[in-house]
Amino acid sequence: MSNRYSGGCACGAVRYDTASEPVVSLHCQCRHCQQRSGTGHGSYVVFADRGNMTVTGQVKTWSVAGDSGAEKSHAFCPVCGAPLYLTFPAKPGMIAIHAASLDDPRQFKPQIVTYAVRGHAWDPLDGSLKQFERMPG
């Protein structure tokens, strides 16, 4: 546990912090991530133990079935609307924070691309990253 990962929304009403190490950092090109981000992908730092992350402030959530059919819940700040994290009822311990919400976005070191089959030519990602057509198992 060499780094702390902390961040929050644009207005500061919601903050998170953890000393846990992420299990993966990724870009997701699924259609929901595109729609939610307003770009061609979403970028996330994923942690296996949500219980080790402290979240202060109140979030609003909305849920949707992802491309895989599994439900995912998006959390955002009700004041400024900034997206903060995703949780997954099928994997209750897991939490994926939005990379741009980190206090130090340089901590985000992407390793893979998921749902590459949905990528757009106008949103090129690092070609050296391992790409998966869908979500790997």
Residue range 5-129 forms a domain whose CATH class is mainly beta
Q: What is the pLDDT of residues 3-53, one digit of tens each?
A: 899 999 999 999 999 999 999 999 999 888 888 888 889 999 999 999 899
Task: Flag whether pLDDT at 1 surpasses 60.
Answer: no
Q: State how far the Cα of 48 lies from the Cα of 94, in Å rounded to an integer.
A: 5
Q: State how far the Cα of 14 lies from the Cα of 54, in Å rounded to an integer.
A: 11
User: pTM, whole model, 2 decimals?
Assistant: 0.90
Q: What is the pLDDT of residue 112?
A: 96
Q: How confident is the model at residue 2 (pLDDT cuts 50, 70, 90)?
A: low
Task: Flag whether pLDDT at 115 surpasses 70.
Answer: yes
Task: Flag whether pLDDT at 64 surpasses 70.
Answer: yes
Share of the chain above pLDDT 90, in %: 72
Per-domain residue ranges for the chain?
5-129
- Which residues are CB-contacts of 113 (< 8 A; sequence separation ≥ 6)? 26, 27, 28, 29, 41, 119, 125, 129, 130, 131, 132
Q: What is the pLDDT of residue 111?
A: 97
Task: Flag whether pLDDT at 129 surpasses 50.
Answer: yes
Task: Flag whether pLDDT at 133 surpasses 80.
Answer: yes
Question: What order of strands is seen across the sheet that includes strand 5-8?
Answer: 5-8, 15-18, 54-56
